[in-house]
């Protein structure tokens, strides 16, 4: 099983700041089958990024993904108030596993 | 408009059984891969089971032998039969859609809460 470790656990930032979230895999993720999801309190997760760097339909361009192999990053260039949420990475190249999440909170 | 609506959750005693439903609209369930993902209170996401468009089925080790995924094409509905429930199965259960086996979950339902407690 591929284990995904996200860091940091919590990111305290102000609106307008840049957020950088990390996801490290215990083994290489094949063909960059890596996705990022956003989950707001009481809501279902929403797909943001797939294939490590492709934005899902309707996702603003302030969200970007990068990385390959075992190290992946989600960047939010300028945080909007609606971006404060929990973010999960997921690999779907070998069954399906999720990271434990990074909470982006208002500083 | 694509919609997934889960139902069937509730309070159940340990060892009991429950069947969750996920009614789909706006697309044909049998043409997609469909999955169940759960989230224990205050915890992260855990993949539970998947059914391929061709009918193939996989489950996580944590539920193997106890949970069974299925679908009813005539009702365009996905199911999760949960037997021998344990306290650690307490979670919100989401159904989610994938376009293929090596694809992300591109659409999720709002979830249904299952609480296993005496």
CB of B50 less than 8 A from some CB of A: yes
List the single best residue of A2, A29, A37, A44 to mutate versus B (max B Cβ within 10 A).
Answer: A44
List the single best residue of B105, B107, B111 to mutate versus A (max A Cβ within 10 A).
Answer: B105
pLDDT at A30: 82
Say which DSSP state B44 is in: -
pLDDT at B53: 95
**pLDDT exceeds cutoff 90 at B8:** yes
Report DSSP letters for A71-98, one per residue. Answer: EEEEEESS--GGG-SEEEEEE-SSS-EE
Which residue does chain A place closest to B105, by CA atoms? Answer: A47
Cβ contact A50–B104 (<8 Å): yes
The chain-wide mean pLDDT, for chain B, equals 97
User: Which parts of chain A sit beneath pLDDT 50?
Assistant: none
Residues of B in contact with A43 (CB under 8 A): 110
Residues of B in contact with A90 (CB under 8 A): 45, 104-105
Report DSSP letters for chain A, one per residue. Answer: ---EEEE-SEEEE-TTS-EEEEEEESSPPGGG-EEEEEE-TTS--EEEEETTTEEPTT--TTEEEEEETTEEEEEESS--GGG-SEEEEEE-SSS-EE---EEEEE-
Residues of B in contact with A93 (CB under 8 A): 102
DSSP-assigned beta bridge partners for residue A91: A34, A97
Give per-residue pLDDT as tens, B50-92: 999 999 999 999 999 999 999 999 999 999 999 999 999 999 9
Give per-residue pLDDT as tens, B88-107: 999 999 999 999 989 999 99
pLDDT at A32: 85
pLDDT at A5: 98
Task: Name the residue among B47, B104, B110 with its Cβ closest to that of A44.
Answer: B110
CB of A45 less than 8 A from some CB of B: yes
Task: Name the residue among A97, A99, A100 with its Cβ closest to that of B47.
Answer: A97
């Amino acid at each position: 099983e591929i284990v995904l470790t996200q860091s940091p656990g919590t990111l305290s930032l102000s609106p307008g700041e840049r957020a950088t979230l990390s996801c490290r895999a215990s083994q290489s993720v094949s063909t960059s089958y890596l996705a990022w999801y956003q989950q707001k309190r009481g809501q279902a997760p929403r797909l943001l990024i797939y294939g490590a760097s492709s934005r899902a339909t309707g996702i603003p361009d302030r969200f970007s993904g990068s990385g390959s192999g075992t190290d992946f990053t989600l960047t939010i260039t300028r945080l909007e108030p609606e971006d404060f949420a929990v973010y999960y990475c997921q690999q779907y190249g070998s069954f399906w596993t999720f990271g434990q999440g990074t909470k982006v909170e208002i500083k | 408009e694509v919609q997934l609506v889960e139902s069937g959750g509730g309070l159940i005693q340990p060892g009991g059984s429950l069947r969750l439903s996920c009614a789909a609209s706006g697309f044909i369930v049998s043409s997609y891969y469909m999955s169940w993902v759960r989230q224990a209170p205050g915890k992260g996401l855990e993949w539970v089971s998947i059914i391929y468009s061709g009918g193939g089925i996989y489950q996580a080790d944590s539920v193997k032998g106890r949970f069974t995924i299925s679908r009813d094409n005539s009702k365009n509905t996905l199911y999760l039969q949960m037997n021998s429930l344990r306290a650690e199965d307490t979670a919100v259960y989401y159904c989610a859609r994938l376009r293929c086996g090596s694809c992300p979950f591109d659409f999720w339902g709002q979830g249904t809460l299952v609480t296993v407690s005496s």
